[in-house]
Structures are given as C-alpha cells and as structure tokens.
Structure 1
Amino acid sequence: MSEPRIITGLSEIADAYDAVLCDAWGVIHNGRELFPGAAEATSMFRAERGPLVILTNAPRPSSVIPAQLDRLGLPRDAWDAIVTSGDATTEVIREMSDKTFFRIGPSKDDDLFRAIDVKLAGADEADAIFCSGLDDDQTETPEDYRGLLEPLARRGLPMVCANPDIVVKYGDKLIYCAGAIGQLYEELGGKVILGGKPHAPIYELAKQRMREITGKVPERILVIGDGLGTDVKGANDQGLDCLFVADGIFAEEARANGSLSASKLAAALEENGVHAEYAMDTLAW
C-alpha cells in the first residue's frame, strides 16, 4: 500500500477540491478546547474554495451542536452545515416505528430521544434497543453492561447504535462511546444497526445538505478525519479522497519519535484495510 502524502497545511491541496466533509472531535477539538489552527483552516477553505460540512458521530441532533462549537470558540463562518450520527440514526429509527425500544444512554442525549419521539419500554417489555452511549463515560466501560446485554442478545433484540465510535479522546483521556457497547453486543450474538460513519446514511444526509447549499452535490469532495474505521473507511467506501489528521485517537499509530511518520501510518492503514491520500499532524491552513 502506498504511503499517504504528508502535508503541513490544507492550502497545499485545497485547489483540488470543491467541498469538505470534516470530522469534529479529534480534528477540530478534543472535547475541551479547539486544536490550534483548526478554526483558520476550516474558515479559509470555506472562504476560498467551497462548502464545509462538519460530519460528526455525535449521538445528538445537529441542532444542538452549534452551541457546543460556540462554547469551544469555533466561529460560525468556519462551517456551512452540520450532520450528525444522531441525524442519521433518526432516519433509521423512523423506519422501525413499529418497535418499542429499551434505552441505554445518558441524560445528556435526551434531545435525541425527544427529536425522534421514540417509544420506550423497560428491558423486559421492549422489542429493540436504542443505545446512545454509556450512562457515565468518565468511569464506565462496556464490561459494565455485559450482564444487561446478555439476556437481550439471547432474546434476539436488535440494537440501534447512535454513535459507531468505539472511543474518543476527551482532553488527554480516552473515553468509550456507544460503538463500544455495540461491539460487545455483537460479540454476544446480537444484531447492531448503525447510521453514522462509516455507514452510508450519514453521507447521504451530508450530500443532501450540500445540495441545499450549492444547488448540486460537488464532484470533488475531501473527507478530513482522525478515525481509521470511521472517517477513513467511510471516505473509502464513498469513493472520496481522505486527509488523515493525527491529533486524534490514532496519534500513536501514526507517529514515530513524536513526529508524523508516513511509513508507520501506512502500516496502520494497511492493517485496518483502508487508505488515505494525505496526512498531517494537526489541521492547519
């Protein structure tokens, strides 16, 4: 597998693209603060080239994300639209409107459940599961849910997972996401249904937003992300070029002696069965 081209700024390749799908957590911010240079890079691409859609696996409706980005200091002129895994999951749930769901997830995801108006029931009465995350992602691990999930898997209840991410980096700490619970549920023999990255529904919504912004779906779209199994695989599956950013959860796999290594990253990409056209340490213009 060929090594990705290492670049130091998005401006080096911006002329080759008409639009960007950019991950948020791990590329623009770490959950606590913006990464230096990310705001300039996104704002400049949007000003000089075309629309920039933030594509995030956040298990919440996109309507709540702008306020979160505001608090982190990302200017509104840095993006044109936001599409979330929560949005994509909403479409999946609507196709299962005959189901009654057992909820797994924290109160901070209440907006998602209200937006979908999903029918909820206890574990014994439900005929499906809706998982948005761990109740306490600061202290819990998926293993804390094994005893709850085992009987549900034996009953054959499908699980809709609102966030395919396994982990994200919160500050300097890795925390588990809904995808980790989904992964355990599959190991127990359960069926998991996903709409976020790398799965097609979230990309179809993103292209729809671009069509609303520009009147058409741009032909040359660049995907920017830090997740090998989500951002990079999603780009590959969609036939889109990808810029890998090493600020996120795969920083260790991409760096040697503290610097981004094309050969080391290429090995990690090959191990995960994906490829990226470009790579950079941190998002910058």
Structure 2
Amino acid sequence: MSLSSLPPETLSLILEFLADEDLTSLILAQRVCKRFQATIERILFQSPPRRAWNRTNLIGVCPLLLGKFSHLFVNGNRKLGPDEGRNTGIPFRRLPWAAKRQEDGTTVKAVAMQDSPYLRPEASWRRLSVTFGAGPVVRSVDVVKVLTVYGGTSMDYKQLDIPPLLSKVSGDADESVEEGEEGILTMGLLYDLLASGAGHMGYVTTSWQFLPGSRLSSYNDWQKLRINNRYPGGERIKELFVKDDQSAVLFVTGHRGCTMNGCMRRKSCSEEDEVWEPEAIGGIPIRMRPWQGPSPDRFSRT
C-alpha cells in the first residue's frame, strides 16, 4: 500500500512521528503533494502535538530551531568586540539569513535585507511553536528583567499578552475570522517580542535567556533574596523559578554603570551604508501586562 492511499488519520500519525525524529525532513516533505502539504501544515501550525518534555538540550527546544535561532534563545555571556558595545541588534544580524548577506554578520546592510523572504509576516517559520517536538506548547511568558546598578540589583517582571489562535470561517461571501482557543508562543511572537525592545532593556542589556517549562514563583521570594543579598547572581535568581509545563521565562539581565551615557548616538551615513536594524514584523502590537502569576485553571488541567 502506498502512502498516498493511506487514510488521513494514519498518514497524520506517520508524519507526526517524523516530526519527532526529523523536523527538517517533515518541513521539506510539504513539497511532495498537496495532500502532504495540508496534513503537515496542520501538524506544524494548527495543532502542534502536546508532549511531555524531551529535553535533548539545555534550552528545551528542538535542535532545528535551536540551530537556526540560537541567538534568540540565548544571548550574551560572551566577550564583546571593541565596536559592538551592548547592541541588542547584533543577535538578529547573526541569524543565518542575515549573516550570509554580509561577511561580518554584525554589520549586515539594510539594502541587503529589504527583500529578505524571511522577514515577511507570513513566513512559515513564524508560525512554529517555540517548543515544537520538544515539549508542551507555551501559553504564558514571564518577562523577568534584572538590572544591576551601583547600590544593588532590581527586578521588573511582566507577562506577555499572547493573542488567541484565530480560525477562518468560510461563508457565502467573504471569509470571517473568529476567536479560537488560547494562544501559544510562536517563533514569530518571540522574534517580535525581542525586536520590538519590549523583551529586553535596550543598551544596558547584558544577556537574555529563554527558559521554557518554568515561571516566576512569587515576588515575595525575590524580596526575601534581595534583603539578604544586594547583588544576587543570575543562577541564584533562577532558583526563584518553578516548573510549569505550559509557561516560560524570558530572563533578561542588564548593567548600568555610574558613568554610562543615557543615549546612543548614531553615525550619519548614506542609505547604502545603513546597518540593518531588526523590528517587529508581525503586524500585531506586542503588549505587556502586569504579572498575574500562574493561571489557576492550568493546574486544574494537570
């Protein structure tokens, strides 16, 4: 029996297994035929499989996404070049599609990126769940920003407002869109969160790390830690995070010295020499809301 003659349910199960074993091959298999494309699109974008954590790496995302988007998941903790400073645009310029347009990925030109197919709102990578094939989908993101200044360390904490999944409803005339189930964190939303500046602290940012399967326990624990230690380290602060399968923490650190200038001056240059600066491209504004802690109904489902 050929694959083309298999019932849709059986074909879907086979392709879901391929998603676990080789996500790259699954994505390429969309070129086989329209039936394969429709089935794989459902697996990839409409209803990502919900699995227990399969932590094959320290980040908790599939190797394909980690290989292509490593600088979005972990950035910092490295020696900066003499001309780099704390430039939050550099991680985006080191993404594969940007870096290959310039020998030095840190200075990729804007003219080389203006027609990049990867920077379209409808680009397929943007719809992938950040934890596809590695664990449960992420439905809540705590953005925890820790800033160290002369005198101590402070914490700012908010939650990302994840828009709900939308579904198209075909009518007799025009198609309408109705609100669907609770939204999930996609690669596009993570990209826009960082590119918009809402996910870091600008020029004072020293690092960020995406931590799926965890959330902030409570602000009271941070206050207790801060009383006992004016300058707690990053690993000590991470002990405040607790496990939660459908949550994630974007942990951002920053440092501001007493002599740092509050602004960054840009050199005047021609349009051809202008360095590409990343920006949110999804068309949906990034919104942050006050931290509300874990969702009570999430625990009732587990």
Higher relative contact order (Cα pairs below 8 Å, separated by 6+ residues): 1
User: TM-score normalised to the size of structure 2?
Assistant: 0.23
Which has more helix, going by share of residues? 1
